[in-house]
A = this chain, B = another copy of it.
Amino acid sequence: MERIIIDMDEVMADTMGGMFAWYKEHFSLPLDYEKMKGSWIPGIPEEHKTKVREQLYSVGFFRRLPVMKDCVEVMEELNKQYEVFIVSAATEFPNSLKDKLEWLEEHFPFLTWRQLVLCGDKRMIAGDYMIDDHVRNLVHFKGKPYLYSTILNKAETGYERLNNWREIADRFL
């Protein structure tokens, strides 16, 4: 069975969506998407950056994130045909660890704790395919890398893209 490595934030979980919803609720302000190249942070007004960072470190933020459209159905099929590992750069955020495990168990009951990897750096991860929204994770990967599109990586070239979970299904199923 071929092994597929799948990122969590911005690929399975709509992390920016969750943050923007929280932001809008608290500050009633639009965010400047044009400044968000590679990172959210430059698009957030200076005076709100600390509050936004606090959200990322809080208990429960990752636990409540929405799931990306079509992700559950496609993942269930992938899990039958591939050896699937969900690999998330999470150790920077100590309170995200248990949240991410519980989030996965809630939304993807057909996956198990054996398939979750919580790390900081992904350079030691081996597999046949990797789907990730960050070039910094794909660049070390020895298998075939796929860049999952977000507004933050629009300018990246040099990687084959997957734009949504229907495209993941078309490619892998």
Q: Interface on A for B, CB 8 Å cutoff?
A: 3, 5, 85, 87, 91-92, 94-95, 97-98, 101-102, 112-121, 124-127, 142
Number of copies: 2
Does more than half of chain A's interface fall in helix, strand or loop, or is it mixed? Answer: mixed
**CB–CB B94/A118 < 8 A:** no
**CB–CB B120/A112 < 8 A:** yes
Q: Which of B85, B87, B91, B115 contacts A116 (CB 8 A)?
A: B91
Give the docked Cα–Cα distance between A3 and B124 (Å).
Answer: 8
Give the docked Cα–Cα distance between A60 and B140 (Å).
Answer: 35
Known A94-B102, A124-B125, A125-B126; contact A117-B119, beta-carbon cutoff 8 A? yes
**CB–CB A119/B116 < 8 A:** yes
Give the docked Cα–Cα distance between A5 and B3 (Å).
Answer: 20
Known A124-B85, A126-B124; contact A118-B98, beta-carbon cutoff 8 A? no
